[in-house]
Amino acid sequence: MLAIDDETMKIVKRSAVFAEVDDRLLAGLIEQCRTIRYKPGVQVLRPAGEADRFFVVLAGQVKIYKLSARGDEQILHLYEPGETFGEAAMWAHIPFPAHAEALEETRLLVVPRQTLAKALAANADLAMGMLAGLSRKLREFNVLIERLSLKEAPARLADFILQQARKAGAATFRLEQTKRELASQIGTAPETLSRALAKLRKSGMIAVKGAQITVRDAEALRELAES
């Protein structure tokens, strides 16, 4: 059985899937799971792999991406501690649709489908709590789709910068992605990203120093992000 400490419980409770689940019920589920550590660059999942489990990021960062026929990489999401991935494919009984790769020293909680199914069958409150959490995650994906499909690159970049500043809890933060990775993440080309960064910098909304970004006009960024 997996030993649970307070920090692990806090991280798992940050996930949308488990945020509404009672602590006692959640602890009982976690005890039946296991954790795995991954070195940077190690593949966690590959497309067409059997989706018999999903993951909660406890430490580190995981990149979810697809490859085009030409080998171009499209980053779909970067998952950090307190976020989950793989659950949609698991519940749908379909193969994992994308690659997952650890970007740094990463520790994941592995939740097997069979283990979760037994726990849900035994406790309706656990099922209702997870249903509420999955509904929240669905709303988050709807917002992500809107960001990628309905906004121009500068607006998507402004939205991303505001999100990162909120996560950092400060106006200044450091970009962890390369420029190519960031461009892929917001659904644009590196050249377009460079032009968008230059536009925000020249307008006085941000300051850029290497990989460090400082928000100078948050209100203007919000207006651009919502345009």
Does residue 220 contact residue 205 with C-beta atoms inside 8 Å? Answer: yes
- The C-alpha atoms of residue 107 and residue 50 are separated, in whole angstroms, by 20
47: CB partners within 8 A, 6+ apart:
66, 95, 96, 97, 98, 99
Over the stretch 164-210, which tens digit does the pLDDT of each residue have? 999 889 999 998 888 888 887 787 888 999 999 999 999 999 999 98
User: What are the extents of the domains in the chain?
Assistant: 6-149, 152-225
167: CB partners within 8 A, 6+ apart:
173
Strands 53-59 and 106-112, by their bridges, are antiparallel
- The C-alpha atoms of residue 98 and residue 88 are separated, in whole angstroms, by 12
For the chain, the average pLDDT equals: 89
Residue 146 pLDDT: 63
**Of 35-44, 75-84, 108-117, where does mean pLDDT reach its minimum?**
75-84
Over the stretch 143-171, which tens digit does the pLDDT of each residue have? 666 665 667 889 989 989 998 999 889 99
User: Could you tell me the fold of the domain covering 152-225?
Assistant: Arc Repressor Mutant, subunit A (1.10.10)
Mean pLDDT of 97-104: 94
Q: Which band of pLDDT confidence, cut at 50, 70 and 90, is reported for residue 131?
A: confident
Residue type at position 18: F
- The C-alpha atoms of residue 9 and residue 16 are separated, in whole angstroms, by 13
Predicted TM-score (pTM) of this structure: 0.70
- The C-alpha atoms of residue 142 and residue 1 are separated, in whole angstroms, by 36
Q: Which band of pLDDT confidence, cut at 50, 70 and 90, is reported for residue 133?
A: confident
Residue 147 pLDDT: 61
Domain covering 6-149 in this structure, CATH number: 2.60.120.10
- The C-alpha atoms of residue 145 and residue 187 are separated, in whole angstroms, by 11
Task: Please say if the pLDDT value at position 44 is more than 90.
Answer: yes
Token pair in block for residue 3 = 């030993």
